[in-house]
Chains A and B, each alone.
Chain A
């Protein structure tokens, strides 16, 4: 299994531009999570999906952030418009939500820099 795949690995963009981060979870996993990691705030859960349905988006910082999961093998996190304070590493993780014994599997992250 290739693990959780995120793209791009790095993204540098100017303030005001739209940014789309992509994630392919592990095949067979039915829960997907988007996290943001910064020095100041550590690891924060933004949103998670179960069976492609958003369950909890209380961590999404504001309306500029949106996430979709159109099918079991693909999810996107979009920021529009982007701001310098959005600069962070964004991680996607998946798990088999049917088992409490199943831990999170993280992708390698997307490092976003907004100038």
Chain B
């Protein structure tokens, strides 16, 4: 069975600082991996996805993520965080059907001024 672990429940960073959110997955085959962001009162919005090819993927809002098969990780990064990035972030893994994704428990990001 597929599973996703986001080790950090809550992260606080200063505005302008770099950010890395961790995600580890468990899946028997090559996974399809996603990062979503959820702002308060909103649904989840896709930031980026990985299916194959280049292991460093670029997403919206200046985010990127790197797939490392050897570490079963798909960490999300941003070089300089903006106050508007404060939200909850979810990592997800899926087979061929993105809808049957397994989601991590989420990481809440707080941005200090």
Residue of A nearest to B102 (CB): A45
Q: Determine if A100 and B99 form an interchain contact, defined as CB atoms under 8 angstroms apart.
A: no
Q: Which residues of A contact B (CB under 8 A)?
A: 4, 31, 33, 42-43, 45, 48, 56, 91, 93, 95, 97, 100-109
* Residue from A48, A107, A108, A109 within 8 A of B99 (CB atoms): A48
Q: Determine if B98 and A100 form an interchain contact, defined as CB atoms under 8 angstroms apart.
A: yes
- Report the minimal beta-carbon distance from B6 to chain A, rounded to whole angstroms: 10
Q: Kindly state the separation between the CA atoms of A69 and B14 in the bound complex, as whole angstroms.
A: 46
Q: Kindly state the separation between the CA atoms of A23 and B52 in the bound complex, as whole angstroms.
A: 32
Q: Determine if B103 and A43 form an interchain contact, defined as CB atoms under 8 angstroms apart.
A: yes
- Report the minimal beta-carbon distance from B2 to chain A, rounded to whole angstroms: 12
Q: Determine if B34 and A103 form an interchain contact, defined as CB atoms under 8 angstroms apart.
A: yes
Q: Which residues of B contact A (CB under 8 A)?
A: 32, 34, 36, 41-46, 49, 51, 90, 96-101, 103-106
Q: Determine if B105 and A42 form an interchain contact, defined as CB atoms under 8 angstroms apart.
A: yes
Knowing A91-B44, A100-B51, say if A45 contacts B34 (CB, 8 Å): no
8 A-B pairs with least C-beta separation: A106-B43, A43-B103, A103-B46, A33-B99, A106-B44, A100-B96, A42-B105, A108-B43
Q: Determine if B106 and A42 form an interchain contact, defined as CB atoms under 8 angstroms apart.
A: yes
Q: Determine if B44 and A104 form an interchain contact, defined as CB atoms under 8 angstroms apart.
A: yes
Q: Determine if B99 and A104 form an interchain contact, defined as CB atoms under 8 angstroms apart.
A: yes
Q: Determine if A107 and B100 form an interchain contact, defined as CB atoms under 8 angstroms apart.
A: no
15 A-B residue pairs with Cβ-Cβ distance under 8 Å, sorted by A, are A42-B103, A43-B44, A43-B103, A45-B100, A48-B99, A97-B99, A100-B98, A101-B51, A103-B46, A103-B98, A104-B34, A106-B36, A107-B43, A109-B41, A109-B42
Chain B residues, CB < 8 A from A48: 99-100
Q: Kindly state the separation between the CA atoms of A27 and B106 in the bound complex, as whole angstroms.
A: 29
Q: Kindly state the separation between the CA atoms of A93 and B45 in the bound complex, as whole angstroms.
A: 11
